[in-house]
Structure 1
Amino acid sequence: MKTFRIGLIGLGGMAGAHIRWMVAEGRFEIVAVSDVNADALAKVGNQLGIASEKRYTDFERLIEDPDVDAVVSVTPNNVHADIVRACLQASKPFMAEKPFTRVFEEAIPLLELYVQKPVPAMFGFTYRYTPAFRYARELVREGRIGTVRSFSFQYLQSGGSALYDHSYSWRFNKDITGTGALGDLGSHMIDMARFLFGEFQEISAQLQTFIPERRDPATGKMVKIEVDDFASFQARMTGGIMGVFQTTRNAIGSGNQHEVSIYGDSGTIHASTLNPDQLIWIREEAPGQLVKATLDAPKHCKVTQYADFLALLEGAVPEGVPGFMDGYRNQEILDAIVRASETKAVIHF
């Protein structure tokens, strides 16, 4: 079986997780790395045994390297568009982190280029690979809770709360991220809603910044924050399914709490990252008698992100893989949420 030679762009914190996932899959070899930070480039290059000539400060040179079969990009949002563009121009398959781009305006020409020069592409909506969410999707599609009427999502973290006095970093810089909690965490909720229920038809939204200034550790000065700490939005989905979403990095006590409750005519499903291998199914067993069962996700729901990326590289298109159009559509919806919040209007698709 072929081992695919990977060029890894971006060597920050999340790169370590991607390296572990590639090693676990067993058919990837990282042959080149790229980062603008010389220390990170040296550290990870040494860790992986990468030859000095395969350590690039310019990601375009890595993408053009003929020894690289495919690219994995784990970078801040402001370079997502440039990296995707370079991969498309070089006809190089890639996996890129979410969100698709910093803002939707950057996404439009990428779609035009992709239509002209399509390549196998995948975006890092990792929660499609949470067994409980995959099992929930299966039960919904089988009609096990009847016609789905509504759902609620929340994605809560605590690191941005006032209690922890989080310093200013790139995630709070609008020029780099485009949005705050919305693009970082909300993009996952958007993708999961599409994965479970289909397309968005209309959206209303509210965004809020709770902490207006944060201290820059480099200068000691306070910096104005222009991205959201909190996002809430409502949506009408395919078939008239109604959804409520909230996300924030200011929820003390929540480590990485991404969860969904799905309400159908004959039952309810709850699934969460807090219990990624099980879900709760509530149904009526007899008239007036509700049963609440905890179900283990079956083995076939335990698919890994890199198993699907491997299948893409081998020419298959696994069902449910988060591909190029999923990334593009996600960015379009992020943009609609920002506009809905700014204009206090309902955005229709």
Structure 2
Amino acid sequence: MKTIYRIGLIGLGGMAQEHLRWMNETGRFRIAAVSDVSAEAMAKAGDRLGLGEEKRYADFRSLIGDREVDAVVSVTPNHVHAEIIRACLQAGKPFLAEKPFTRDFEEAAPLLALYDRRPVPAMIGFTYRYTPSFRYARELIRQGDIGAVRSFSIRYLQSWGSAIYDTPYMWRYDKEITGTGALGDLGSHMIDMARYLFGEFEELSAVLHTIVAERRDPGSGESVRVDVDDFASFQARLTNSIVGTFQTTRNAVGSGNEHEVSIYGDRGTIHASTLSPDQVIVIREESPGQLGRTTLDVPSRCKRKQYDDFFAVLEGEVPDGLPGFLDGYRNQQVLDAVVRAHETKRTVRLPE
């Protein structure tokens, strides 16, 4: 009989529906309890999932303490990430928490101290490690297909915040809730992809900017000032003197969900993107002075699902490339360095 893990799901918004779908695809999880600040959302989810009232928790701490919950999946706004992770560590409850790790590094630092004392199986939701094209690019880099990597460019562009859409004010534009804007939301994925492919950050410089400075309050219709970035650009030096550029915004008109990386080595180039998740483009020298451009299909061994790895974590394994607790913590270190580099207008070195 196969193992089915009982999951407590915290946060029932739009992204939670994706997590439910991913869990169902894996077939190794069952929702045992839910929690949300919205009673209406809990009622709908509880009815749909067949949960009794006693498994619908207004307080996420009660869900985490439920002995019939084997592990927690947290899909909430950023301002409660640290509290949920802390509660899971204190309860010894395995978890998968959405990115960014916390709102800022000040919230992250005490969590590492707690994790060092009371480690639990944990995973951070850097979902693009499970995009087949990125996994294959990592394999090609490791086997030396383009020689030593020298530089790269990473972009993550969306358009839904562009002025032409009149996107209203929401929690993603509120610093108290989100910490940073496009940087923490999309930029955290770029940072994680760089660490996944190339190694650790050593130094960086950055520019943050707010393109749409005011947005309409959906309730009152009045303008509200946006106090977080909606454009972020930075450049960095990583392990082995690999240098790279990063750009993200929610204001790139015509862009859907474009997360792309171009990797430049001594003997060639690799392009990988969410737009073609099952293919990579490789440019290499085919004969002296002659370059060839090849589109490669991603092999099946590079097609692994995020919840396959979460299941493996709960089984006591540590799969290669797993985005674990320390990946979330180190990601937050880099996010903090980007903010400091922008605020001080200088290059910031990362701590060892």
TM-score, structure 2 length as denominator?
Answer: 0.99
Residue 269 (structure 1) aligns with:
270
Trace 1:130-145 onto structure 2 (pairs within 5 A).
130-145=131-146
Residue 11 (structure 2) aligns with:
10
How big is each residue's C-alpha offset from its partner over 1:18-59, in whole Å with a ceiling of 9 and x where there is no partner? Answer: 000001100100010000101101111111111111000100
Residue 291 (structure 1) aligns with:
292
Residue 242 (structure 2) aligns with:
241
- Cα distance in 2, alignment partners of residues 135 and 336 from structure 1: 29
Shift of 1:289: 1.4
Give the secondary-structure state (helix, strand or coil) at the position aligned to 1:251: coil
Unaligned 5+ runs, structure 1: none
Trace 1:174-323 onto structure 2 (pairs within 5 A).
174-323=175-324
Shift of 1:219: 2.0
Shift of 1:2: 1.3
Shift of 1:312: 0.2
- Cα distance in 2, alignment partners of residues 6 and 218 from structure 1: 35
Trace 1:329-348 onto structure 2 (pairs within 5 A).
329-348=330-349
Give the secondary-structure state (helix, strand or coil) at the position aligned to 2:270: strand
Segments of 4+ moved more than 2 angstroms: none
Residue 130 of structure 1 aligns with an amino acid whose one-letter code is T
Residue 162 (structure 1) aligns with:
163
RMSD of Structure 2 on Structure 1 (CA)? 0.5
How big is each residue's C-alpha offset from its partner over 1:195-224, in whole Å with a ceiling of 9 and x where there is no partner? Answer: 000000001000000111111112222111
Residue 72 (structure 1) aligns with:
73
Shift of 1:98: 0.1
Give the secondary-structure state (helix, strand or coil) at the position aligned to 1:290: strand
Residue 60 (structure 1) aligns with:
61
TM-score, structure 1 length as denominator?
Answer: 0.99
Residue 107 (structure 2) aligns with:
106
- Cα distance in 1, alignment partners of residues 292 and 246 from structure 2: 27
How big is each residue's C-alpha offset from its partner over 1:288-328, in whole Å with a ceiling of 9 and x where there is no partner? Answer: 21110000111110010000000000000101100000000
Give the secondary-structure state (helix, strand or coil) at the position aligned to 1:223: strand
- Cα distance in 2, alignment partners of residues 264 and 34 from structure 1: 47
Residue 95 (structure 2) aligns with:
94
Residue 129 (structure 1) aligns with:
130
How big is each residue's C-alpha offset from its partner over 1:245-284, in whole Å with a ceiling of 9 and x where there is no partner? Answer: 0000000110000000000000000000000010000001
- Cα distance in 2, alignment partners of residues 275 and 72 from structure 1: 28
Give the secondary-structure state (helix, strand or coil) at the position aligned to 1:11: coil
Shift of 1:138: 0.5
Give the secondary-structure state (helix, strand or coil) at the position aligned to 1:261: strand
Give the secondary-structure state (helix, strand or coil) at the position aligned to 1:219: coil
- Cα distance in 1, alignment partners of residues 243 and 104 from structure 2: 26
Residue 273 of structure 2 aligns with an amino acid whose one-letter code is S
Residue 303 of structure 2 aligns with an amino acid whose one-letter code is K
Residue 47 of structure 2 aligns with an amino acid whose one-letter code is N
Instruction: Determine if the alignment matches structure 1 residue 324 to structure 2 residue 325.
Output: yes
Give the secondary-structure state (helix, strand or coil) at the position aligned to 1:282: strand
- Cα distance in 2, alignment partners of residues 235 and 25 from structure 1: 37
- Cα distance in 2, alignment partners of residues 217 and 280 from structure 1: 43
How big is each residue's C-alpha offset from its partner over 1:148-184, in whole Å with a ceiling of 9 and x where there is no partner? Answer: 1100000000000101010000000000000000000
Unaligned 5+ runs, structure 2: none
Residue 151 (structure 2) aligns with:
150
Shift of 1:227: 0.4
Give the secondary-structure state (helix, strand or coil) at the position aligned to 2:304: coil
Give the secondary-structure state (helix, strand or coil) at the position aligned to 2:207: strand
- Cα distance in 2, alignment partners of residues 229 and 134 from structure 1: 28
Kindly tell me the number of residue pairs found equivalent between the two proteins: 349
- Cα distance in 2, alignment partners of residues 19 and 146 from structure 1: 40
Give the secondary-structure state (helix, strand or coil) at the position aligned to 1:262: strand
Structure 1 stretch displaced more, 198-207 or 215-224: 215-224
